[in-house]
Amino acid sequence: MRHPILLSICAAGIMGLSACQKPGEDAEVDRALQDINVVDETNLNDVMLTVADADEAVAYFKKATSQQPDRIDLRRGLGQSLIRAKRHTEAVATWQKVVEHEDSLPNDKVELADALIRTNDWKRAKEVLDTVPPTHETFKRYRLEAMVADSNKQWKKADSFYETAVGLTTRPAPVMNNWGYSKLSRGDYSGAERLFTEAIQNDQSLFTAKNNLVLARGAQKNYNLPVIPSTQIERAQLLYTLGLSAIKQGDTAIGKGLLRDAIDTHPQHFEEASRSLAALEANVSN
């Protein structure tokens, strides 16, 4: 963000300097002006990467990179902005150029792999991650390694990478949720339940983990809602998920009861649950 008062004072100081400067001091004044521009640009870049509208940030960094194509920091900003804007195919092309830059760092390959995963190009993502030096031990690198191992059904590798990633972050809930979903997909329902529970303990606002926890319990034919913090709407949605899980397992009567509980619990009209219950009762009557 620009600070008009500060810039005005700086400008006034430089004008004063130029008014009384001696021959040969032009270079010093130019450097002073350049330093102010760099500080101001850095602040603007940070704003664009964090709080600006994603598409606005993309437009800003596209213009900046066209004017200064050799600046790798601007290309990184463009790549991050494209990911924020969910323009993942463009992000892949941008991060590829960053990786090919002479000043590229190992983390740039991690960002390229992330963009590739978002385009569902798992094979190439693995190839890129394989080129990252083993000494580059970051949370994001190991989280992506775990996801790639999952996609290849390399469960032991996935567990090892997830465990390492959890130890490298102060916000492990999303990773635990991903790890739990991995366990759920391979049929380890009790292991999945444990990880979803730990994820919720670390972040009580993570509804995805709450919903996944209900799925893991339902897969074990445990149709009681777990004791977890939830709003009334969340509770209704969890009852709905549990009801569908019961119906899928063949426990139709229990499922119908859970759907009715979901409808009664929801503070407004619960369209999805009402429609599912109506369809189920119509099917039974037929």
What mean pLDDT, rounded, does the chain reach?
Answer: 88
DSSP state at residue 149: H
Main-chain dihedrals φ then ψ at residue 255, nearest 5 degrees:
-60, -45
Alpha-carbon span 123 to 42, nearest angstrom: 36
Per the listing, tokens 């979903």 go with: 181
pLDDT tens profile 201-238:
999 999 999 999 999 999 999 999 999 999 999 999 99
Residues 218/225, Cβ–Cβ less than 8 Å: no
Please name the fold of domain 106-169: 1.25.40
Q: What's the confidence (pLDDT) of residue 282? A: 83
Q: How confident is the model at residue 285 (pLDDT cuts 50, 70, 90)?
A: low
pLDDT tens profile 174-206:
999 999 999 999 999 999 999 999 999 999 999
Alpha-carbon span 81 to 63, nearest angstrom: 13
Alpha-carbon span 227 to 236, nearest angstrom: 14
Q: Answer with the residue of higher pLDDT: 113 or 51.
A: 113
Report the 10 Å Cβ neighbour count for 148: 24
Q: What's the confidence (pLDDT) of residue 18? A: 44
Please name the fold of domain 35-104: 1.25.40
35-104 and 106-169 share one CATH topology? yes
Alpha-carbon span 165 to 70, nearest angstrom: 33
- The pTM assigned to this predicted structure is 0.80
For the segment 231-251, the average pLDDT, to the nearest whole number, is 96
Alpha-carbon span 208 to 200, nearest angstrom: 9
Q: What's the confidence (pLDDT) of residue 13? A: 43
How far from chain centre, in Å, is Cα 257? 36
- Here the tokens at position 262 are 């979901």
For the segment 118-127, the average pLDDT, to the nearest whole number, is 98
Q: How confident is the model at residue 21 (pLDDT cuts 50, 70, 90)?
A: very low
- Here the tokens at position 181 are 């979903």
- Here the tokens at position 281 are 């009762």
Q: What's the confidence (pLDDT) of residue 19? A: 43
Domain boundaries, the chain: 35-104, 106-169, 171-229, 230-286
Say whether domain 171-229 belongs to CATH 1.25.40.
Answer: yes
Least confident span in 6-15, 110-119, 209-218, 230-239: 6-15
- Here the tokens at position 48 are 């664009």
pLDDT tens profile 131-159:
999 999 999 999 999 999 999 999 999 99
